[in-house]
């Protein structure tokens, strides 16, 4: 790791940066997801309810991912 095999985690736990090699991870934006979900549920009268929303995650690149060896 990482030249022969790259590893990516999900949720970017505090442990991800403390491992060796440090773990590349996807960070979810739970606060933004919650706000978006609440906005979809709580619509003023007369407005259409949103059917779809997207909250983009963020990739935190650390030592567990690198380009492959030649």
- Judged against a pLDDT cut of 90, whether residue 60 lies above it is answered with yes
**Residues 26, 15: Cα–Cα separation, whole Å:** 13
> Once rounded to an integer, what is the mean pLDDT over residues 8-28?
93
> Once rounded to an integer, what is the mean pLDDT over residues 52-68?
89
Give the pLDDT band of residue 46 (cuts 50, 70, 90). Answer: low
At 24, is the secondary structure helix, strand, or coil? strand
**Residues 15, 56: Cα–Cα separation, whole Å:** 22
Name the more confident of 27 and 49.
27
| Residue 2 DSSP code | -
Name the more confident of 49 and 12.
12
- For tokens 């059917």, what's the residue? 51
């Amino acid at each position: 790791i990482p030249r022969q095999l790259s590893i990516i985690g999900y949720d970017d736990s505090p442990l991800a940066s403390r491992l060796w090699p440090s773990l590349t991870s996807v960070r979810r934006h739970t606060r933004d997801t919650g706000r978006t979900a609440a906005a979809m549920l709580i619509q003023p009268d007369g407005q259409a309810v949103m059917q779809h929303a997207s909250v983009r995650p963020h990739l935190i690149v650390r030592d567990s991912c690198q380009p492959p060896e030649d």
